[in-house]
């Protein structure tokens, strides 16, 4: 079976760009980001035992695709001919694709997390993200909280105060979902937040972090699709701790990840 047969088998398309949901004009940063996003869903370290072998093959195919599109010469040949100059090289069995992946996406440190959170929270950037999410999700606080980086349940009232001010100033519409948000819904969100903190405690142990360190626990609990713009910091953070996207809420995210698990 040829390389392109493998791509079609596992991703439903013989086009390397389409396999990563990219346009042909994608730049190097977009290619790396797409590879990272999709490889997280089938990385061997994150796969259940019954999916490990299948996901291992998918992970290898993704890595091979990236090795072509990230190499200027190989990509130029592919763009011109839709073939590869040396397909046998792509199929080398000696290449350690997991090591290849780790070189590209190094593990984030505790200090990185602390510095980013200190810089982001209460910033203009956070306010802009909050305003965008409020409009995008039409005032649904559950989805808003799911999509604001570094946010915890304790931030919700602060966010609500900002939103109420924007409504009063005419900067955003007054959505019914926000105005009529009930105490019951808030209690439900608090319960979910506590559940995620418990899950994060388990992940923190794997990192060797103090389980009482709320910052690390909060960060690790965030799900992969909460990182809307997937900046370099959070792309690294997702390396080992990305989780399946949540499907609750009235509206679905616009950029849904392909689910390989």
How far, in Å, are 47, 56, 240 from residue 50 at the CA level? Answer: 8, 11, 19
pLDDT in tens, 105-151: 766 566 777 787 888 899 999 999 999 999 999 999 988 988 888 88
Q: Is the pTM of this model over 0.75?
A: no
- Per CATH, domain 3-86 is 1.10.287.110: yes
Q: Is the pLDDT of residue 230 over 50?
A: no
Asked if residue 15 lies in contact with residue 69, where contact means CB atoms within 8 angstroms, the answer is no
Among residues 90, 42, 88, 38, which one has the least CA distance to residue 69?
90
Q: Rounded distance, CA 198 to CA 201, Å?
A: 5
Structure confidence at residue 224 as a pLDDT band (50, 70, 90): very low
pLDDT at 95 (0 to 100)? 72
More confident residue, 188 or 216: 188
DSSP state of 150: T
Among residues 9, 4, 35, 36, which one has the least CA distance to residue 235?
36
Q: In the chain, which segments carry CATH 1.10.287.110?
A: 3-86
pLDDT at 227 (0 to 100)? 40
């Amino acid at each position: 079976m040829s390389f392109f047969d493998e791509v079609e088998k596992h991703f439903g398309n013989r086009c390397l760009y389409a396999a990563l949901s990219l346009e042909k004009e994608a730049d190097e940063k977009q290619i790396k980001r797409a590879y990272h996003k999709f490889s997280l869903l089938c990385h061997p370290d994150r796969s259940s035992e019954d999916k490990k072998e299948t996901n291992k093959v998918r992970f290898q195919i993704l890595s091979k695709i990236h090795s072509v599109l990230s190499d200027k010469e190989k990509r130029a040949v592919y763009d011109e001919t839709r073939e590869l100059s040396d397909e046998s090289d792509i199929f080398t069995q000696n290449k350690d694709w997991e090591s290849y992946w780790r070189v590209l996406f190094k593990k984030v440190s505790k200090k990185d997390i602390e510095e980013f959170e200190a810089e982001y929270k209460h910033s203009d950037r956070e306010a802009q993200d909050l305003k965008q999410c409020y409009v995008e999700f039409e005032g649904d606080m559950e989805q808003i909280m799911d999509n604001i980086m570094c946010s915890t349940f304790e931030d919700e009232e602060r966010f609500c105060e900002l939103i109420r001010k924007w409504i009063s100033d005419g900067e955003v519409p007054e959505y019914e979902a926000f105005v009529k948000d009930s105490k019951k819904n808030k209690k439900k969100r608090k319960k979910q937040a506590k559940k995620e903190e418990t899950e994060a405690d388990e992940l923190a142990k794997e990192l060797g972090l103090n389980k009482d360190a709320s910052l690390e626990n909060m960060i690790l609990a965030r799900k992969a699709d909460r990182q809307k713009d997937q900046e370099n910091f959070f792309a690294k953070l997702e390396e080992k701790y990305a989780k399946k996207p949540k499907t609750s809420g009235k509206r679905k995210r616009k950029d849904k990840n392909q689910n390989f698990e």
